[in-house]
Amino acid sequence: MNRRYRKTIIAGNWKMNKTLSETRAFADELKPLLGKPKWCEVVLCVPYVNIPAAVRLFKENRVAIGAENCHFESHGAYTGEVSVEMLKELGVKYVIIGHSERRQYYNETDFTVNKKVHAALEGGLYPIVCVGESLEQRELGVTMDLISYQVKAALAGVPADKMRHVVIAYEPLWAIGTGKTATAEQAGEVCEAIRAVIRKLYGARVARSVTIQYGGSMNAKNAAELLAQPDVDGGLIGGAALKAPDFVEIVNAANQE
């Protein structure tokens, strides 16, 4: 973390978990434990149907609400899809774009990721752009090439003045939902490389202002070590964001002056 130049952001990704009543129960448990963290931004990315309740329930604790996806068009004949404008009107601040599960199961490509990044920024949302390599790619030694390509493709055409709204999440596929975490060194190395790519594209001032998260089985036990890496500015958290005490412990690891 380096709070001098950029925000630390701890974001939960609930995926397809929690009904409305479970969302209310989570809020009841989380709110007294969480308080109002001062040194980091806390985000919960929840299923679309829970967004209005989540915005209301977490407001007093300053938890920002995110969506887990969006469409790149503003409206039209796209059955089942949700636009940036619809999310914005509900009070959503962040949107996850290009999560590996969407790339794997729903035909998300680097091209659609780029279109969604543009749509989010134009509509006033903060995109959390996910990039990451598979185990095979890591073993082939192409991690940095692949990540560099994914970052460049996601950001193609994004002007420098919009970059302060962009968050990048480095999520190695082999660590997501597997209980296998990248070592702090592996996470730090790739996050550093991502910042170097942004530096080449936009210069040093922009690069040091961008929040780069690590995601992949981050939990209460390993969060502090991962966050101690200078280029790891937070976490995107799946499983551990479903249990209020675990999520709060991760926030506490990040909420240091």
Q: Does 231 bind ligand PEP (CB under 6 A)?
A: no
DSSP 48-83: GGGHHHHHHHHGGGTEEEEES---SSSSSS-TT---
How far is 219 from 226, CA to CA, in rounded Å? Answer: 10
Q: Residue 210 interacts with ligand PEP (CB under 6 A)?
A: no
Identify residues 165-204 at the interface with ligand PEP (CB under 6 A).
171, 176-177
Q: How far is the CB of 53 from ligand PEP (least distance, A)?
A: 21
Among 237, 244, 248, 254, binds ligand PEP (CB under 6 A): 237
Site for ligand PEP (CB under 6 A): which residue of 44, 163, 198, 236? 236
Q: CA 213 to CA 170: how far, in whole Å? A: 6
Q: Phi first, then psi: what are they for 220, rounded to 5°? A: -60, -30
| Per CB under 6 A, 12 contacts ligand PEP | no
Residue 131 and residue 152: Cα distance in Å, rounded? 11
Between helices 143-155 and 110-122, what is the axis angle to 10°? 40
- State the Cα–Cα distance between residues 198 and 223, nearest whole angstrom: 25
Of 85-93, 114-122, 204-212, 237-245, the segment contacting ligand PEP by CB under 6 A is: 237-245
Choice from 216, 232, 250, 252 touching ligand PEP (CB under 6 A):
216
Is 224 within 8 Å of 186 (Cβ atoms)? no
Q: At closest approach, how far in Å is the CB of 16 from ligand PEP?
A: 11
Judged by CB under 6 A, does residue 98 bind ligand PEP?
A: no
Q: Which residues, listed in sequence order, are joined to residue 9 by a DSSP beta bridge?
A: 41, 234
Active site residue 171: yes
Q: Does 217 bind ligand PEP (CB under 6 A)?
A: yes
Q: Select the residue whose beta carbon is closest to ligand PEP and give its number.
A: 238
DSSP designation for 181: P
Stretch that binds ligand PEP, among 27-35, 191-199, 211-219, 243-251 (CB under 6 A): 211-219
Taking the complex as a whole, the smallest distance from the CB of residue 257 to ligand PEP amounts, in Å, to: 26
**Is 75 a catalytic site residue?**
no
Q: Which residues pair with 44 in a beta bridge?
A: 12, 65
Q: Which residues are catalytic?
A: 99, 171
The contact set with ligand PEP (CB under 6 A) reads 13, 171, 176-177, 215-218, 236-240
